Amino acid sequence: MIWPKPGEWLAPDVHALRPEALAPWLAEELWHVELDDGAEEIVPGVLVAPRGRLVARVEAWNDQVAREFASACAEHAREGATGRAAEFAADATAAAEKATAGPTAVLAGYMAAHAAEAKEPGTFAAERRRQSLWLAERLGLSPSAE
């Protein structure tokens, strides 16, 4: 995607993420954004506003951190994994080995969340949130107050 210059307002319906919802939506670049008044949370952690603008790139997000993230996801997935969970954990591990900033890091997290779900049904979303909070801490982003 070609991003506008920082500070240039975009409209309409600009979407943004809270740090605790980041893991499923990773891209090659991450940006801090400013949303205009009237932003609404449309699903947990996802905001939409009438206007928004890029403020600054998240410089800490790069291929090295993506591999750290993917490896941490895979490691967590392997903990106590048996049966189908172990298969998903193996997939997460394979994805982590090739992870770069963007979709390949998302894939490792996705497979790890499926491993969590296979271990304990109903934990997929909680695992994605755990991953997002790991990212927020590693990238120096502050999760929002709930």
Q: Residue 12's pLDDT is what? A: 86
- Give the tens place of pLDDT for each residue, 45-97: 999 999 999 999 999 999 999 999 999 999 999 999 999 999 999 999 999 99
Q: What is the C-alpha R_g of the chain?
A: 16
pTM of the predicted protein model: 0.90
What is the mean pLDDT of the segment spanning 103-125? 97
pLDDT one-digit tens code per residue, 119-128: 999 999 999 9
Which CB contacts under 8 angstroms, 24+ apart, belong to 134-137?
A: 134/69, 134/72, 135/19, 135/22, 135/23, 135/26, 135/69, 136/19, 136/20, 136/22
**Predicted local distance difference test score (pLDDT) of residue 146:** 47
